[in-house]
């Protein structure tokens, strides 16, 4: 029987389905269809029983019921889109025809079951989302039932003075609004659940994207350095193997976190308690983070009261909790900030407890995010641009491990002032003592052991300057190993530092990550491309975010190339070479059109900012063409740029110095005057900004291969 019902349900689902329908729409269609179909036998029976006793009018209303139902089903068979209008027709039809039947049967006092048949209309309306419509249909039902009775001339007085109307009104109103309340609550619950599932899906989607990012970055380094070692083993064997091992350990740690969460979910996480000095163990753990804090110029302090705290704990799990919280605190604290760890033994009621507080002077967490910060799939806004702790696993795992020891963890934070995570653990002394605990090798985060790559041995001015904006030093090392022979490498660890360095040095090329602290790659690229000083610099986004939305966003913000990790080194080389060729095309463009930029070239959007810059330069120089004293300093001031910035920008766009560019413009202006006016040579020189006539003749000869006089004579002969 059950299988038959399932088969019928499956058939009905397929029958009522229209492309675009969700599960709720399909359910509404099925309810409507079944109401009509299953109601037909009852209408037939009612017609035969009631119609024969009450007269011809009742038969007519029954026929209306019988005809309308198949008609609606027939229309639905050919046009299944939507259900709102079908439902409304059914609801109104039931109410109106029932009211007619009540009238024909003599009003409320004698209509019997026909009264409550009409209630099917508003009650059915309650199933659908539009509850306001249900109220309107109920009011229509009450109005029509009242009218159907009041227009009975012989029964008005008895009806009005009877208690039947009051009882009827109160009864159906109570029934309707009770159902209204419950269906409204169900809809609210369904809406909240739907929103929760939507948010959960978004969290899961972000979680998996970030997990992918976590795997892609170490894999980029492992695969890339393996290739480097293969090509040049003597140069990269030692450093490359260290990087491969370090990033392999990162992948192992991430995998272990995922497995630990899975074990915690299934209640299968083993606990290995030892009795040892927690104070000594905390000193050992915190000491391992001093190098990381020092590299970021962060003050790291630890206070413990009392000096010795003997208790039962699982060293690996305490290490995991502390490492996750301390890594977060150091990572989000800006240079010059502080991270404090306070540990104390205290009484909570009659129980002896350990209180641990890790506080930082980072950006803080909003009140809204604090409620979700420990959720597995959640990231606070200040974490979304960072990949080292971007998965949302660390805090979720820390909370589950704290709960495993019957402890509690809380967060207090104020935006702009920092955050504080407080842990409370019960103190017991039942496990086997372990006096050698601290001598064991703890598995601590590896990224704090990283240093910046060694700088190039020599700075060659002939090399193009390449700026790498990346917060993962192993990625920087790998890129450095690929590119150091051909480029002068500069490094920035976040978008803000990268922007400052780019404006200062005006690099020839930039490679940037997206997910970085302080300023992410998207914002960095947008600010870089909107700044006239750096808008011409080609940008390669090299990131683990391989989704199409991120790629489109990056390209819209001005990135010239978007490469996903792990990438092929040959593809990176080809992309760089193509950007250099594009840069050469830009140089040829401006060197061959010094007087003005042709209209057809101005239409190219890729060079819009650079065209605007060159046009502005030409406009300023044209206005001051006759002023020999107007030079590089005056031009840089007019453009609100430093001399070095102007020099680098010009060199990148034209491959000549600003001085040479100004001289070329003046000489071309002089040649134009010689060919198009009757000014003598001296006047032409002065108009072009040359006060020294012999110097003018000399540089004119160098530029055009003929003296000013010879140039004019050629014109006259022509």
Least confident stretch, 243-247, 534-538, 643-647: 643-647
The better pLDDT of the pair 52, 35 is held by 35
**Cβ atoms of residues 652 and 535 within 8 Å:** no
Rg (CA), the chain: 40
pLDDT at 343: 94
Are residues 360 and 371 in contact, defined by beta-carbon separation less than 8 angstroms? no
Give pLDDT, residue 376: 63
The first and second tokens of residue 355, run together, are 């209180």
Angle at 573 between CA 468 and CA 551, to 5 degrees: 65
Count how many Cα atoms sit within 13 Å of the Cα of residue 275 in the half-sphere of its side chain.
Answer: 9
Report d(CA 97, CA 65) in Å as an integer: 7
631 and 506 inside one domain:
no
Task: Name the strand (E) or helix (H) holding 274.
Answer: strand 274-277
Per-residue HEC secondary structure of 89-151 comes to HHHHHHHHHHHHHHHHCCCHHHHCHHHHHCCHHHHHHCCCCCHHHHHHHHHHHHHHHHHHHHC
The token pair at 123 is 């009650």
Dump pLDDT digits (tens) for 397-433. 888 889 988 999 999 998 888 999 999 999 999 888 8
Is residue 52 scored above 60 in pLDDT? Answer: no
Q: Which of 583, 618, 641 is the last residue of a domain?
A: 583
For residue range 608-667, list pLDDT tens digits in order.
667 777 777 777 877 777 676 777 788 878 878 887 777 777 777 776 777 777 788 888
pLDDT at residue 460, as a whole number: 45
Is 443 a domain residue? no
pLDDT recorded at residue 659: 74
The average pLDDT across 87-104 equals 80
pLDDT tens by residue, 436-469:
665 434 333 333 344 444 444 444 457 889 999 9
Sorted by sequence, the CB contacts under 8 Å of residue 211 that are 6+ apart come out as 254, 258, 391
Dihedral sign from CA coordinates of 483, 486, 490, 494: negative
Domain for residue 495, yes or no? yes
pLDDT at 444 (0 to 100): 36
Return the minimum-mean-pLDDT range out of 128-142, 296-310, 358-372, 685-699: 685-699
Least confident of 87-96, 304-313, 451-460: 451-460
CATH number at residue 391: 3.30.565.10
Query: Do 564 and 649 sit in the same domain of this protein?
Result: no
Q: Provide the CATH number for the domain around residue 499.
A: 3.40.50.2300
Does residue 566 share a domain with residue 612? no
20-36: pLDDT as tens digits: 777 777 877 787 777 77
Provide the pLDDT confidence category of residue 336 given band limits of 50, 70 and 90.
confident
Q: Are 485 and 561 in a shared domain? A: yes
Amino acid 203: pLDDT: 66
Strand pairing partners for 410?
A: 422
Domain that holds residue 291: 270-432
Q: What angle do CA 276, 298, 520 make, to 5 degrees?
A: 115
Does residue 501 have a pLDDT over 60?
A: yes
Do 278 and 403 sit in the same domain of this protein?
yes
Decide if 98 contacts 114 (C-beta within 8 A): yes
Cα 353 to Cα 313: distance, rounded to the nearest angstrom: 12
Q: Stretch 674-694: mean pLDDT, rounded? A: 82
Q: What is the pLDDT of residue 459?
A: 41
Q: Is residue 110 assigned to a domain?
A: yes
CATH number at residue 699: 1.10.10.60
- The residue-averaged pLDDT of 373-387 equals 56
Average pLDDT of the segment spanning 283-303: 84
Torsion angle of the four alpha carbons 318, 319, 321, 325, in this order, in degrees rounded to the nearest 10: 140
Is the same domain home to 29 and 122?
Answer: yes
The burial of 677, by beta-carbon neighbours within 10 Å (0-12 exposed, 13-18 middle, 19 or more buried), is given as: exposed
Domain boundary, last residue among 162, 184, 203? 162
pLDDT tens digit sequence for 255-280: 877 777 777 777 777 888 899 999 98
Domain check: are 501 and 415 in the same one?
no
Pair 129, 22 in one domain: yes
- Residue 58 — pLDDT band, cuts 50, 70, 90? low
The domain boundary, picked from 106, 131, 162, lies at 162
Number of domains the chain contains: 4
What's residue 175's pLDDT?
Answer: 87
Domain-located, residue 545: yes
Confidence category of residue 511, pLDDT binned at 50, 70, 90: very high
Inter-residue contact 457 to 438 (CB < 8 Å): no
CA distance 639 to 645: 10
> Is there a single domain that holds both residue 297 and residue 152?
no
CA angle 208–211–212, rounded 5-degree value:
85
CA angle 235, 237, 241 (to 5 degrees): 140
Least confident of 242-246, 389-393, 395-399: 389-393
For residue 346, the surrounding DSSP H or E stretch is: strand 338-348
- The predicted pLDDT at position 373 comes to 81
Any domain includes 446: no
Q: Which of 93-107, 234-248, 370-384 has the lowest mean pLDDT?
A: 370-384
Sign of CA dihedral 570, 575, 576, 580: positive
Confidence (pLDDT) at 57: 60
Nearest Cα neighbor of 465 from 523, 562, 568, 534 is 534
CA distance 471 to 467: 13
Give the Cα separation of 296 and 39 in Å (integer).
76
Question: Are 474 and 417 in the same domain?
Answer: no
Residue 426: what pLDDT? 93
d(CA 369, CA 422): 17
DSSP string, 579-631: HHHHHHHHHHHHHS-SS---HHHHT-GGGHHHHHHHHHHHHHHHHTTT-TT--
Q: Is residue 247 part of a domain?
A: no
Residue-level pLDDT at 446: 34
User: Does pLDDT of 7 surpass 70?
Assistant: yes
**Model confidence at 298: pLDDT above 60:** yes
CA 100 to chain centre: 60
Within a domain: 295: yes
Question: So what's the pLDDT on residue 640?
Answer: 81
Residue 441 pLDDT? 40
- Whether 546 and 611 map to the same domain: the answer is no
Residue 585, Cβ neighbours under 10 Å: how many? 11
| Mean pLDDT value across the chain | 78
Which of 620, 621, 575, 618 is CA-nearest to residue 597? 618
Place of tokens 């302080």: 518
Higher pLDDT, 511 or 460: 511
Q: How far apart are CA 150 and CA 652, in angstroms?
A: 93
pLDDT of residue 353: 93
Per-residue pLDDT band for 593 (boundaries 50, 70, 90) equals: low
Tens digit of pLDDT for each residue in 575-590?
Answer: 998 888 877 777 776 6
Is residue 283 pLDDT above 60, yes or no?
yes
Which among 363, 341, 477 is positioned nearest to 416, based on CA atoms? Answer: 363
Task: Give the other-Cβ count within 10 Å of 64's Cβ.
Answer: 16
Whether 325 and 370 share a structural domain: yes
216 within domain boundaries: no
């Amino acid at each position: 029987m059950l299988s038959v019902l399932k088969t019928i349900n499956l058939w009905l689902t397929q029958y009522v389905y229209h492309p675009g329908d969700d599960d709720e729409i399909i359910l509404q269609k099925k309810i409507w269809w079944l109401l009509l179909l299953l109601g037909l036998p009852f209408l037939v029976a009612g017609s035969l029983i009631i119609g024969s006793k009450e007269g011809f009018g009742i038969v007519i209303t029954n026929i209306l019921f019988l005809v309308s139902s198949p008609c609606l089903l027939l229309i639905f068979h050919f046009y299944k889109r939507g259900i709102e209008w079908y439902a409304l027709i059914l609801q109104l039809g039931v109410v109106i025809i029932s009211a007619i039947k009540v009238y024909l049967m003599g009003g409320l006092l004698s209509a019997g079951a026909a009264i409550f048949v009409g209630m099917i209309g508003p009650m059915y309306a309650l199933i659908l989302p539009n509850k306001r419509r249900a109220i309107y249909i109920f009011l229509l039902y009450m109005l029509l039932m009242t009218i159907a009775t009041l227009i009975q001339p012989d029964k008005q007085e008895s009806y009005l003075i009877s208690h039947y109307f009051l009882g009827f009104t109160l009864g159906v109103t109570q029934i309707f609004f009770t159902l209204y309340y419950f269906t409204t609550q169900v809809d609210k619950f369904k809406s909240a659940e739907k929103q929760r599932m939507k948010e959960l899906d978004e969290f899961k989607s972000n979680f998996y994207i970030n997990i992918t990012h976590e795997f892609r970055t170490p894999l980029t380094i492992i695969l890339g350095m393996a290739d480097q070692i293969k090509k040049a083993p003597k140069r990269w064997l030692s450093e490359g193997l260290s990087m491969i091992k370090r990033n392999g350990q990162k992948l192992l740690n991430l995998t272990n976190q995922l497995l630990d969460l899975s074990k915690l979910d299934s209640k299968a996480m083993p606990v290995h308690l030892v009795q040892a000095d927690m104070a000594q163990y905390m000193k050992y753990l915190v000491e391992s983070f001093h190098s990381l804090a020092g590299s970021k110029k962060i003050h790291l302090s630890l206070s413990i009261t009392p000096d010795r705290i003997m208790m039962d704990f699982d060293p690996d799990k305490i290490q995991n909790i502390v490492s996750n919280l301390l890594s977060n605190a150091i990572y989000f604290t800006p240079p010059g900030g502080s991270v404090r760890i306070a540990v104390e033994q205290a009484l909570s009621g009659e129980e002896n407890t350990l209180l641990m507080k890790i506080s930082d002077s980072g950006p803080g967490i909003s009140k809204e995010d604090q409620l979700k910060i420990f959720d597995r799939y959640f990231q606070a806004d200040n974490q979304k641009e960072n990949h080292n702790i971007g998965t949302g696993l660390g805090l979720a795992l820390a909370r589950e491990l704290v709960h495993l020891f019957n402890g509690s963890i809380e967060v207090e934070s104020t935006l702009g002032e920092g955050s504080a995570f407080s842990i409370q653990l019960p103190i017991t002394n039942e496990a086997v003592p372990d006096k050698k605990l601290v001598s064991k090798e703890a598995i601590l985060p590896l990224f704090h052991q990283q240093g910046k790559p060694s700088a190039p041995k020599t700075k060659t001015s002939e090399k193009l300057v390449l700026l790498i904006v990346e917060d993962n030093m192993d990625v920087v090392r790998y890129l450095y190993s690929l590119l150091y022979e051909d480029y002068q490498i500069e490094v920035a660890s976040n978008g803000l530092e990268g922007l400052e360095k780019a404006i200062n040095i005006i690099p020839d090329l930039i490679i940037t990550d997206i997910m970085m602290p302080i300023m992410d790659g998207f914002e960095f690229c947008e600010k870089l491309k909107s700044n006239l000083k750096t808008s011409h610099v080609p940008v390669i986004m090299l990131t683990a975010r391989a989704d199409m939305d991120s790629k489109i966003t990056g390209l819209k913000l001005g990135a010239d190339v978007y490469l996903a990790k792990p990438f092929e080194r040959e593809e990176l080389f080809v992309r760089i070479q193509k950007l250099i060729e594009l840069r050469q095309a830009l140089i040829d463009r401006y060197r061959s059109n010094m007087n003005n930029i042709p209209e057809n070239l101005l239409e190219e959007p890729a060079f819009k900012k650079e065209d605007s810059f060159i046009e502005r330069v030409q406009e300023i120089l044209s206005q001051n063409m006759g002023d020999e004293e107007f030079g590089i300093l005056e031009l840089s001031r007019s453009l609100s740029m430093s001399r070095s910035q102007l020099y680098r920008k010009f060199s990148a766009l034209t491959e000549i110095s600003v001085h040479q560019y100004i001289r070329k413009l003046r000489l071309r202006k002089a040649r134009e005057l010689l060919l198009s006016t009757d000014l003598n040579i001296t006047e032409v020189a002065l108009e072009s900004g040359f006060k020294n006539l012999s110097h003018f003749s000399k540089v004119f000869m160098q530029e055009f291969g003929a003296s000013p006089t010879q140039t004019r004579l050629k014109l006259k002969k022509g």
